[in-house]
């Protein structure tokens, strides 16, 4: 399948693995890229330029296909060494960067001069238009269904994607609620040039996380996520567990007086315990509503092959059959 995104990024299939904290390591990124998609290493999980350079080198040992690095720009006092991270991305020959969080304009000149394609993650059309105006090559448009941070507008993809298509000139991919061929074909119909999956790639054989995390996703339904940190305007969609319910009770009890320090026990530093040690109740961890559509743990190759084969069938048989009057609605 050829789209503006496959052409821009030099990949076979219009499927991107989004950056995920303590998940986006070389093993997963290489597996996705080897399967024809775009795998992404999570830069801030590595933390330092030296560690990121090593992870990029490991990924290059595992694949000769394009892969990317996610850089999330956070409004915090003790900031990571962003100039150093950008430097090792360029020196490592990485040709795609997924940016998220704050405006990445400070680092675009260096990335663009090195021939790096920049995809900015956006939860609103106005943010995507800003990304376009500063020179980003593409946008990842993130609907309210997504795991992680959906923004504060609460617009689901059935509205957000067509709105983005109406406004944007640069290509964009659909993010949030993406799991299978139906997700891809629907996204293409609404104007996207591909899709970005996070939670779905968590439940794959190559995802370098504890088996307990994968099983928690398999057991979850679309009803099992919660929105936390709304009073702080840093909303995150997470899988429910006792720690999350405790956090939500604190938000109800403290109301407008709540501060980050009140919920630090449930959100600060919990990812290693969850993703690496398998203590899935240790705190809040990102998970999308799409968990309700995840019923197996395939390899990345199996997953991407299945998505593309079923997408071809949906387009050529179901939709074309309906148009021609010979198909079935089954």
Q: What is the pLDDT of residues 277-294, one digit of tens each?
A: 999 999 999 999 999 999
Q: What token pair was written down for 80?
A: 């990571």
> Is pLDDT above 60 for 330?
no
pLDDT reported for residue 329: 53
154 CB neighbour count, 10 Å cutoff:
11
- Identify whether 297 is part of a domain: no
27 CB neighbour count, 10 Å cutoff:
17
Question: What distance in Å separates the CA atoms of residue 123 and residue 327, rounded to the nearest whole number?
Answer: 36
- Residue 196 sits in which domain range? 4-207
Tracing tokens 């394009």 back to the chain, one arrives at 66
Contact 240, 290 (CB under 8 A): no
pLDDT reported for residue 80: 95
Mean pLDDT of the 163-188 span: 98
260 and 136 in a common domain: no
- Number of separate domains in the chain: 2
167 and 100 in a common domain: yes
- CATH number of domain containing 43: 3.20.20.70
249 and 124 in a common domain: no
281 and 179 in a common domain: no
Taking the CA atoms of residue 170, residue 175, residue 180 and residue 183 in that order, the dihedral angle to the nearest 10 degrees is -70
Q: What is the largest CA-CA distance in the chain?
A: 62
pTM for the model = 0.96
Query: What are the residues facing 71 on neighbouring strands?
Result: 99
**CB-based burial of residue 242 (10 Å sphere; 0-12 exposed, 13-18 middle, 19+ buried)?**
exposed
Give tens-digit pLDDT for 86-128: 999 999 999 999 999 999 999 999 999 999 999 999 999 999 9
Instruction: Out of 154, 188, 207, pick the residue that ends a domain.
Output: 207
136 and 33 in a common domain: yes
271 and 148 in a common domain: no
Q: Which helix or strand (DSSP H or E) is residue 301 part of? A: helix 300-313
Instruction: Out of 163, 189, 207, pick the residue that ends a domain.
Output: 207
Average pLDDT value for the chain: 96
Question: What distance in Å separates the CA atoms of residue 293 and residue 290, rounded to the nearest whole number?
Answer: 5
pLDDT reported for residue 54: 98
Phi, psi (deg, nearest 5) at residue 189: -65, -30
- Identify whether 80 is part of a domain: yes
- Identify whether 300 is part of a domain: no
Instruction: Out of 185, 207, 229, pick the residue that ends a domain.
Output: 207
Q: What token pair was written down for 175?
A: 């993010």
- What does the buried/exposed string (b/e) look like for 315-328 if buried means 16 or more CB atoms within 10 Å of the residue's CB? beeeeeeeeeeeee
Per-residue confidence band for 328, with pLDDT thresholds at 50, 70 and 90: low
> Is pLDDT above 60 for 155?
yes
Question: What distance in Å separates the CA atoms of residue 106 and residue 279, rounded to the nearest whole number?
Answer: 38
- Identify whether 330 is part of a domain: no
Q: What token pair was written down for 34?
A: 């080897």
Give tens-digit pLDDT for 4-47: 999 999 999 999 999 999 999 999 999 999 999 999 999 999 99
Q: Are strands 236-239 and 225-228 parallel, antiparallel or unpaired?
A: antiparallel
Q: Angle at Cα 63 formed by Cα 57 and Cα 66, nearest 5°? A: 90
Distance of CA 198 to the CA centre of its chain: 4
- Identify whether 246 is part of a domain: yes
> Is pLDDT above 90 for 138?
yes
- Taking phi over 0 as left and psi of -120 to 50 as alpha, with beta for the rest, 180 belongs to beta
Per-residue confidence band for 74, with pLDDT thresholds at 50, 70 and 90: confident
Q: Which of 57-61, 75-79, 90-94, 252-256 has the lowest mean pLDDT?
A: 75-79
Tracing tokens 């986006």 back to the chain, one arrives at 24
**CB-based burial of residue 151 (10 Å sphere; 0-12 exposed, 13-18 middle, 19+ buried)?**
middle
Per-residue confidence band for 78, with pLDDT thresholds at 50, 70 and 90: confident
Q: Would you call 73 helix, strand, or coil by DSSP?
A: strand
89 and 185 in a common domain: yes
Q: What token pair was written down for 84?
A: 């150093």
Q: Angle at Cα 23 formed by Cα 147 and Cα 192, nearest 5°? A: 50
233 and 130 in a common domain: no
């Amino acid at each position: 399948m050829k789209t503006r995104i496959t052409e821009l990024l030099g990949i076979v299939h219009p499927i991107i693995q989004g950056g995920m904290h303590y998940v986006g390591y070389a093993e997963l990124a290489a597996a996705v890229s080897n399967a024809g998609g775009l795998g992404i290493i999570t830069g801030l999980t590595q933390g330092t330029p030296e560690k990121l350079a090593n992870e990029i080198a490991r990924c290059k040992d595992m694949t000769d296909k394009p892969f990317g690095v996610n850089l999330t720009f956070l409004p915090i006092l003790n900031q990571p060494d962003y100039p150093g991270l950008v430097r090792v991305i360029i020196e490592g020959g990485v040709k795609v960067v997924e940016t998220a969080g704050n405006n990445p304009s400070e680092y675009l000149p260096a990335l663009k001069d090195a021939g790096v394609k920049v995809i900015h993650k956006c939860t609103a059309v106005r943010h995507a238009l800003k990304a376009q105006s500063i020179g980003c090559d593409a946008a990842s448009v993130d609907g309210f269904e997504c795991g992680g941070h959906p923004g504060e507008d609460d617009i689901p993809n059935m509205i957000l994607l067509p709105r983005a298509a109406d406004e944007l000139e640069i290509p964009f991919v659909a993010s949030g609620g993406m799991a299978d061929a139906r997700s891809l074909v629907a996204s293409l119909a609404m104007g996207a040039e591909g899709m970005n999956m996070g939670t779905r790639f968590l439940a794959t054989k190559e995802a370098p996380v504890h088996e307990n995390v994968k099983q928690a996703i398999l057991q979850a339904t679309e009803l099992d996520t919660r929105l936390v940190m709304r009073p702080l305007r840093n909303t995150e969609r997470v899988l429910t567990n006792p720690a999350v319910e405790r956090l939500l009770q604190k938000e109800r009890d403290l109301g407008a007086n709540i501060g980050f320090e009140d919920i630090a026990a449930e959100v600060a530093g919990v990812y290693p315990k969850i993703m690496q040690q398998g203590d899935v109740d240790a705190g809040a961890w990102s998970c999308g509503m799409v968990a309700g559509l995840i019923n197996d743990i395939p390899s990345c190759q199996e997953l991407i092959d299945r998505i593309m084969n079923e997408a071809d069938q949906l387009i050529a048989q179901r939709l074309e059959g309906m148009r021609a009057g010979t198909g079935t609605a089954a």
